Structure 1
Amino acid sequence: MSNNSRFRIDDVLDILSRTPKVLRLMLEGLPNDWLHSNEGENTWSPFDVLGHLIHGEKTDWVNRIQIIMNHGDTKIFDPVDRFAHLHKKKHNAIEILLDEFETIRNHIGQIVRVMAKNYHEEVGPWRAYLGHSSVQIILAKE
């Protein structure tokens, strides 16, 4: 994105909606050795990265949206535990995690679209990131 480009929520939603498909194309069907290999100490495997994304979708996005809606800009976000997913069991097949990520990401996209439509005046300091054209595009899609 160039310095002259304006952040537009419709562009972000488009990119976010593509992520599950891209990850599926990259990871599905690969041998477990590839999926669980990393670059060494304190690095993550593709399996770990996917777990991190799922954890973030479950614990960060929705919680932060709730903070914005309930407290505006008066409450600071809780810190993100970037490593929480590493403490969970890794028994799921990659296909199960890919399905879970796709489902969660689709729901997050729905939440963001609804919020942009219904609460575009109430998002406080984040209003600049919505942009008028983005809200109009979202409203037109409904």
Structure 2
Amino acid sequence: MHFKLSEAIEVLSSTPAALQAFLSGLSEDWLKCNEGEGTWNVSEVVDHLIEGEKSNWIPRLESILYEGGSKPLPPFDRYAHLNEQLNPPIEQRLREFKALRMQNIDKIKALADPSLHLERTGIHPEFGEVKLSELLSTWVVHDLTHLSQIARVMANRYKADVGPWVEYLGILKK
């Protein structure tokens, strides 16, 4: 097992700045591009990350710590952000994500004492028994997955325009 809470916090803490650096100031054309029907655009990925900060990671972490296996982890609707009718500017959404993430990092740090047992378990509604370390590892990899997704979606916008260089651009071959 390679999981270390301090290293997880490093990545989780860096995601808001990565998103800010990558997306701030971009036109709607970049923010609304997607990979086809039924796929998320860049703005929707950010909205999904915000929803996760509100209703996924910390509620499930707290459920494992305080309720263990006595009842299933709270459900998370991965598509809830698609029901939102508001469409605030990306700068506002990036600020919201950063604020929520920093609050959640503070909560993790408050719990990160020697009594935090990373092997504690909860009951995931789909997967069954899961460890706290698995939930936290998933949070990190979830961030990295969506950072990669954003880059891939944006790169694909120019796929038809790069000509023969497509052979050297691995991101366009996925």
- TM (norm. structure 1) is 0.79
Matched, 1:22 2:47: no
CA distance in structure 2 between the partners assigned to 1:119 and 1:72 by the alignment: 15
Percent identity among equivalent residues? Answer: 35
Name the one with the larger strand percent. Answer: 2
Tell me the alpha carbon deviations over residues 37-77 of structure 1, each in whole angstroms, 9 at most, x when there is no partner.
11111111110000000001001122112312331233221
Matched, 1:43 2:36: no
The CA deviation at 1:88 is 0.2
Partner of 1:74: 70
CA distance in structure 2 between the partners assigned to 1:91 and 1:80 by the alignment: 22
Higher relative contact order (CA 8 A, sep 6+): 1
The CA deviation at 1:106 is 0.6
CA distance in structure 2 between the partners assigned to 1:99 and 1:63 by the alignment: 21
The CA deviation at 1:101 is 0.4
CA distance in structure 1 between the partners assigned to 2:73 and 2:133 by the alignment: 19
Partner of 2:8: 12
Aligned residues: 126
Query: Could you tell me whether the CA contact under 8 Å between 2:58 and 2:104 is conserved in 1?
Result: yes
For the residue of structure 2 that corresponds to 1:73, the secondary structure is: helix
Partner of 2:28: 32
For the residue of structure 1 that corresponds to 2:56, the secondary structure is: helix
Tell me the alpha carbon deviations over residues 70-102 of structure 1, each in whole angstroms, 9 at most, x when there is no partner.
312332213321110011024200000000000
CA distance in structure 1 between the partners assigned to 2:63 and 2:20 by the alignment: 31
Gaps of 5+ in 2: 122-130, 137-174
Query: Could you tell me whether the CA contact under 8 Å between 1:72 and 1:123 is conserved in 2?
Result: no
Pair 1:107–1:118, CA change in 2 (3 A): farther
The CA deviation at 1:36 is 1.1
Pair 1:115–1:123, CA change in 2 (3 A): farther
CA distance in structure 1 between the partners assigned to 2:102 and 2:67 by the alignment: 25
For the residue of structure 2 that corresponds to 1:56, the secondary structure is: helix
List, as ranges, runs of 4+ consecutive aligned residues in structure 1 with deviation greater than 6 Å.
127-130
CA distance in structure 2 between the partners assigned to 1:83 and 1:46 by the alignment: 14
